[in-house]
Amino acid sequence: MMRATSVLVALLLIANAAYASSSIYGSEFDYKKAKPTSTYFSGRTRQQVASYCKNEMLGTMDLSACAQFRYEAAIETLNNKFAQIENVAKDSDRGHRASDEPEALPFFKKAQSNWQLYRDNECYAEVYQVGQASLRFIDFWDCMTRITKQRLDELTVSDPLAPSL
């Protein structure tokens, strides 16, 4: 009887280990399929969410949602800046086109697309290096926010399509 119990316990431990390795923390993650945090924080304003996310005693799910919330705010700001630069470039490119010169906007769009690919791959690499961890997604969103803010700083400090003096 003792032997049967030991075998049963061993099987349960193996089954538990197999289940744990297939948890959400061990699977691939596609951030583009993540639900927006407005669903998680339904009924709250952005200011309320921002205030809530400043709490130090949040659970893992709340921490992850708050990290994603910060990314969503950063990418919205970056997209607005990109749209402003795009409008300036369109105006500038009209003159270039009239003078039979190359246009800047297609290259700027390609650079932005390549930057997004870099950011995504960098953050996936960082988070998958850690291995399975309950804070994996928080680290991912923090990485996405950090690199997005760096890009915003690059575009804000020096407008890449502004005419040189």
Q: What does the alpha-carbon distance between residue 148 and residue 119 come to, in Å, rounded to a whole number?
A: 8
Written as six digits, the tokens of 116 are 């997004």
Find out whether 156 and 150 touch, Cβ atoms under 8 Å: no
Average pLDDT by consecutive 10-residue portion of the chain (165 residues)? 48 38 56 93 96 94 96 97 94 88 93 97 90 82 97 82 51
**Per-residue CA distances from 69 to 40, 57, 121 (Å):** 10, 17, 20
The domain limits of the chain are: 2-157
Q: What is the structure's pLDDT at 165?
A: 38
Q: What does the alpha-carbon distance between residue 41 and residue 51 come to, in Å, rounded to a whole number?
A: 12
Q: What is the structure's pLDDT at 28?
A: 73
pTM, rounded to two decimals = 0.77
Q: What is the structure's pLDDT at 162?
A: 58
Q: What is the structure's pLDDT at 105?
A: 93
Q: What is the structure's pLDDT at 81?
A: 95
